[in-house]
Structure formats: structure tokens, C-alpha cells
Structure 1
Amino acid sequence: MRVLFSPDVFVTQRFGGVSRYFAELHTELVKLGVDARLFSGLHDNAHLRGGRTLLGKLPLRPRLFLSGQAFRCYAAAQRAAHILHPTYYSAEAFGRGPHVCTFYDLIHHKYPGQFANDTTAERQRLWARRADRIIAISHATARDLVCMLGVPEKTISVIHLGVRVPRPRTQRQADDYVLYVGNRGGYKNWRIVVEALRDPQLRDLRLVCSGGGPATREEQALLESRRMAARVTFVAADDVALSRYYRGALGLVYPSLYEGFGLPPLEAMAEGVPVVAARAASIPEVVGDAALLFDPREVDDLVQALRRLLDASIREGLQKRGPERARMFSWESTARKTADVYRSLR
């Protein structure tokens, strides 16, 4: 059985949950003896070895086009029977052979106004019809596929993402900040964290934001109007630095209104970091009872959760349950279940 992964996401992402998923999936599939071939194209992705080629300095659209065309030629030249697994929702299929498509979320259908001039929703509709089998990364995403795109349940396999739980470290010394990881716009609901931290009982807490780039003018204006500018820091971090920020945080705060899975809470729990997360979409499915949940539309509810985070006994309980919960989500399990999907198409 040969599996070919398209280059799409490795060309468009330098860092990111989707490219991490496929890099980890490929690694574990090979360990299981699956002939999995990752066609990375003209990439600049941090999760792959080798970095970008000289042609990788081309602008994004030409790189994506050239990588896609090269992959189609590569796929067409295969003599052995093979399965095609696009890494994102390509504009068209890649030729002969069954196709497996992973659906991460349906955010473009749920909040279409936040994605102007974006064709992802249209391409998702194409793959909902075209794919021979669909992998949903959570039961929440599977329900959305059925309800919003009319995908038959029998064609969907729910396969959770994974995480690598590090060896236990010496007792970590938590700093006076909570960590926010990821983009901050729209449904990510970052502003509620700023509002919650204005509570008098939380005045000694700082907020460190990793990912999503530097503060926008609008974000900086919000911080200044709320007198929060001095308490909020924006940092860029690779995997090593991000792990350090996790370990130093009093906790992770994850206020998103919608996620297809949500890797940051799982990564935090794996590091033994307490998590305060939104009670929304797939997030409770991932964190279980190992996090403090709150209504992401209620500032007061987040305030109460963050106040609880200040209690050392509550943090201690979360630090214990977090790694236990994270061990339920392994990349080896992700790969094994994915290989079963491939085998069902032989």
C-alpha cells in the first residue's frame, strides 16, 4: 500500500497545526511499515527537515502552483496502486486512485463573514463529495460535516490528533503570566482575555501571546484604552521556545469560540501546565476533566476561572491530570487508525 501526501500545506505554512499533523502522521506511518510518501514541494516548513529550496524564495502563488503541478506528474507516474491524501482542500483531485481527505473544521461555513475572498468553503464542498473516505479530527467536526455539508456518517472516520508527552521534569517554577497561543482575530476571541484580566483580583497577572504576529494597531489601541499595554507581551516562538513559555506559565488560556480540535490545550496539558479553556465545539472533547472550562461569551465566567487558577491546590490537581489526559492522544494511535482507513480502500 502506497500513500501519497500532497505538498499544499507545507508550501503555505511555516508553522501550524495542520503541517505538524501531517509531519507527525508521516513519521508514524513509516514506523508502522506503510509506504507513505510526503511530497513537500517548494516548502519553507519548520516541521520538515531540509528547509526550503532556492526556488522556495518564489512568491507563494507560483510556489503553490509549481508544487501542485509537480505532484500531479509524480502521482501520475506511479506504477504501484496508491492512495492520495491531500494535505489541504486542493482546488481539484490529483488523478487516479482513491482519495482520503482530512477535515479539520468547518469554520469557513460557520463564520463566513470572517473569510472574505476565501474559497476554502467551496473547496470543502468539493472534497465532501469527491473523497472516497473522510477523516474528521474530532466528533464535533464529524457532526458538522453531517449537519452542514450532508456527508453520510458511514464515510467519516473520527481520528483525533496526537501529542508527545515529555518525560517528567523537576518541579517547574510558574511565572506570573498566563499564556495565549495562536492567532487572535475573529472567532479566536482573544479580546475576552484582555477584558477578564482587568479584574482587580487578576491585576498581578501578565499575558504572553505567542503566534499570530505582533499586535495590530487595533489590538494596541484596545490595550491602551484598557490600560493593559504594559501587561501584555507578544512573542515569536519556535517549538523549543514555545515549550519554554508553556513550562513557565501559570496556565494556558484558550478562549476560542470554535475549534475543530485545538492543539494548544493538549500541548499545555502534556507539559503539565494548567489549562483554562472555552466550553465550545471540540474543546471539551479534547480536555475532558483536566481543564477549567468557561463560557467563551461571558467575561465574568472567564474571570471566575482565572481566579480559580490562582489557587495553588487547583493548579496542582490540573498539573497532575493534564499529562494523564494527554497520554490518551498519541501520534502512534493517529497513524494506526489512519492506516486502517487506507486499508479499507484497497
Structure 2
Amino acid sequence: MRIGVDAHVLAGKFQGSRTYLLNLYKEVLKQSNPEDYVFFGHWGNEADLPYSNEAEYINFKSGSKVRRLTYESRPLLKSSKIDLYHTQYISPLMVPCDTICTIHDILFETHPQYFSKQEVLRNKILVRYSAQKAKQVHTVSQYSKNKIMELYGIPEHKVKVVPNGVDLSRFSPENKDESKALIEQKYGVRDYLLTVGRIEPRKNHIALLKAYKILLEKNIPVGNLVIVGKPDFGFQDFFKKIDELQLKPYVNIIDSVDDQMLPHIYRAASVFVYPTFAEGFGIPPIEAMACGVPVVSSNTTAIPDVVGDAGILIDPNKHEDIANQLMDFIENSSSLLALKEKGLIQAKKWTWIEASKKYLESIGELTNGKETALILS
């Protein structure tokens, strides 16, 4: 079976869907025959190829999303003799083969206030259509699976949980002192509070700013607040709040970081805070845990399943709760140590190796006819 993969996202901005595709297929190709896979994307020279050179790489003819989803993909898939095409969120309207669609979440359905009206309308139509016509739907958490079945009427046997993971060879607690020295030299900060995620209302940075202000006013030795993420939809209020709370000298925004630097930024932090309102999974808390950094995160959507009892869960609507938990954290070294240990154990539950096994099991159901047996039973 020839499996095609829409990998255009690898040339785009750093986000969960890019991390997912990049790391999932690195492991999948180790566990299966790379020659069975064809990656469609925007490839430069051979040094830019993300996976095994034994796999095949084909360039989309343009960078246009509209062309890719309407008429450009079909002839490429047909000429490449693709049997199964893997996409994320939205599949092309016309394809000559079966599709698998990974839908990380449908938060635009359950939490539309955190997206533009245009994005909500487009996704409600096209993501639903892609899910209903797909041979299988993959998603990253039980929370997202339940919502996809509930809102799109997809039968349970057709929705597979192929979770996110963390690369434990990159994200680890090793050489923390070296990371701290590197980050202090490069960014001028040390022993800081950290959060990672695009600057948009859903990530709830404003509540974090309010909580951080409380800590400063109480003279808690908290260090700077470091935010790794680019401004995105609805970011203007965040920057206004920084000025309003007079936090500019204390907040460091790193809007661009490469794959090599990110683990150092995690390792050098004293505490990781992730007060998001809604997530389909939530990769950053797991990456922080893998780096030996204690985590404070939200008690909503998929986060409790992902973080478990290895982090402190807070109500994202109450910035005072966030401040109090951080205060207890910083002043109680034994609690910090215990959560670091729990976090390292929890992170090991979410690896790309395990994710790739789930992926190959799901693909195996299609190739071995097990799905048909399930339907008939």
C-alpha cells in the first residue's frame, strides 16, 4: 500500500500540527518500510528532507491552500498511485483514493469565541466534511475523540486516538546548568516562569499576567516571565495589559525559536505555567515535565488526562488561583522536587514511539480488513 502524506505544514509556523507530523512519521518510518510513504509538501534541497531518504518526496505545484484543496492534489495523488492519503483537519475536496484525516481538536465547535468568525465557518463546513468522508479519523486524546463522535456523528470504530508525544532524546533534564548559562547569555534571564504557546485569547496569557503581577507585589522571588510564542488572533489586548500592569521590564517575549533551542528554554525555567482555556491535547506541559520542570496547568478539556497528577491543575478563569498555586510552589521546595519526579514519569507515558505504534495499528485495521469485520459485527 502506498501512503501519501500532506506535509505542507512542515514549511509553516511552529505549532502543534507541525510538531505532530514531524515527530510521528520519524518514528513510523523506523517501524515500517519507508518506501511505502510519499510526502507531499514544499521541499528544497536534500538536506531539508525531514525523514528517511528512502521515502519519496513530491512538491506541490504552488503554495496556495485553495489550489491544494480544490484541484492540485488529485492529479498528484493519481500519478503517484496513492492508495491512502493522510491529511490534517481538512482533506482535498476531490481525491482518487481513501483518506485518513487527523483532527487534533474541534475547539472551533466547542469554544468558537477563541477563533475568528471566518475560521469557525470554514472549519465547521470543511473539517466536518473531511471527517465524514474519511476512511478513518485520527485524533490526539480521548477528549477530542468523544467530541468528534458527539458533534459529527462518527461511529466509534472509525475514530482512533493516535496521541501526541515528546522526544525524550531532546527534552530531558540533563545538563540543566549548561542550559541555564546558555539562556542567560542569549536572552538575559535566569530561573524564570515560562509558558509556551501562540499569543491568542485561548492560551489565557492575560490571566497569567495578572497572576504574575500579584507575585511581584508580594515580593515573591519569581524571576522574569518568559513567553515563547508568536502573536496570533486577538493578541492586541495582551500587549495592552502588559502596559496597563506596568510589566514591560519583567516580561520577555521570544517569538521565534528553533527546534534545538526550545529544550534549553524549558530546562532553564523554574516553573512552567500553562493556564489555557481549551486544548485538544497540550504538548508544552509534557515537554516541560520531560525537562524536569514542575508544571501548573488548567483543569479543563484534555489537560487533566494528559498531565494527570504530575502537575498542579488550576481554574483558568481565576488568576488569583494561579497566583496562589505559584506562590505555594516557589516557597515549598519539597513540593517542587516531588512534582519534578512525577513529571518525569508522566512524560514517559507520551512518546512518539507509542504514538507511531497506535498509528500503525490503526492503518493495519484498514489493510487487514479488520474494520469491515467490526462493521459487520
Same fold (TM over 0.5): yes
- What is the TM-score with the length of structure 1 in the denominator? 0.88
- Is 1:169 matched with 2:187? no
Gaps of 5+ in 2: 52-58, 181-189, 368-377
- For 1:238, the aligned partner's letter is D
* Paired residues of 1:6 and 1:68 also in contact (CA < 8 A): no
| 1:250 is aligned to 2:255 | no
- The alpha carbon displacement at 1:342 in A equals 1.1
Deviation digits for residues 76-135 of structure 1 (CA, Å, limit 9, x no counterpart):
0244x7211113413514222x21111101111123243221212211110221111111
Partner secondary structure for residue 138 of structure 2: strand
Q: Structure 2 matches for 1:108-187, cutoff 5 A?
A: 108-113=108-113, 114-118=115-119, 119-166=122-169, 168-170=173-175, 172=177, 175-187=190-202
Give 2:37's aligned residue.
36
Whether the 8 Å CA contact 2:74–2:94 is kept in 1: the answer is no
Structure 1 position 209, deviation (Å): 0.6
User: What CA distance in whole angstroms lies between the structure 1 residues aligned with 2:279 and 2:40?
Assistant: 27
Q: Which residue type is aligned with residue 18 of structure 1?
A: S
Q: Does 1:287 align with 2:307?
A: yes
Given residue 27 of structure 2, which amino acid in structure 1 is its aligned partner?
E
SS in 1 for 2:4: strand
What does 1:210-289 align with in structure 2 at a 5 Å threshold?
Answer: 210-213=228-231, 217-235=236-254, 236-289=256-309
Query: Could you tell me how far apart the structure 2 residues matched to 1:26 and 1:92 are?
Result: 24
Query: What is the identity, as a one-letter code, of the residue corresponding to 2:133?
Result: R
Q: Which of the pair is proportionally richer in helix?
A: 2
Change beyond 3 A, Cα 1:135–1:296: same
With 268-277 and 85-94 compared, the bigger mean Cα shift is at: 85-94
* Aligned-residue identity in percent: 26
Compare 219-228 and 248-257 and name the one that shifted more: 219-228
Q: Secondary structure at the match of 2:263?
A: helix
Deviation at 1:142, TM superposition (A): 0.8
Deviations 1:258-281 (A, max 9, x none): 100011001111111111100011
For residues 96 and 211 of structure 2, the distance between their equivalents in structure 1, rounded to whole angstroms, comes to 51
Question: What RMSD in Å do the two structures reach over aligned CA positions?
Answer: 2.9
Q: Does the 8 A contact of 1:197 with 1:203 survive in 2?
A: no
Aligned length: 337
Deviates more, 1:145-154 or 1:168-177: 168-177
Q: Which moved more, 1:19-28 or 1:162-171?
A: 162-171
Q: Is the 8 A contact 2:200 2:235 kept in 1?
A: no
Structure 1 residue aligned with 2:105: 105
Runs of 5+ unmatched residues, structure 1: none
Q: TM-score, normalised by structure 2?
A: 0.81
1:308 corresponds in structure 2 to 328
The 1:48/1:180 distance shift into structure 2, 3 A limit, reads farther
Give the SS at the match of 1:289: helix
| Matched position secondary structure for 1:246 | helix
CA distance in 1, matches of 2:220, 2:154: 48
C-alpha distance in structure 1 between counterparts of 2:302 and 2:310, whole Å? 14
Query: Per the alignment, in what secondary structure is the counterpart of residue 176 of structure 1?
Result: coil
Q: Which whole-Å deviations, capped at 9, do the CAs of 1:319-338 have from their partners, x for residues lacking one?
A: 11112111111111111111
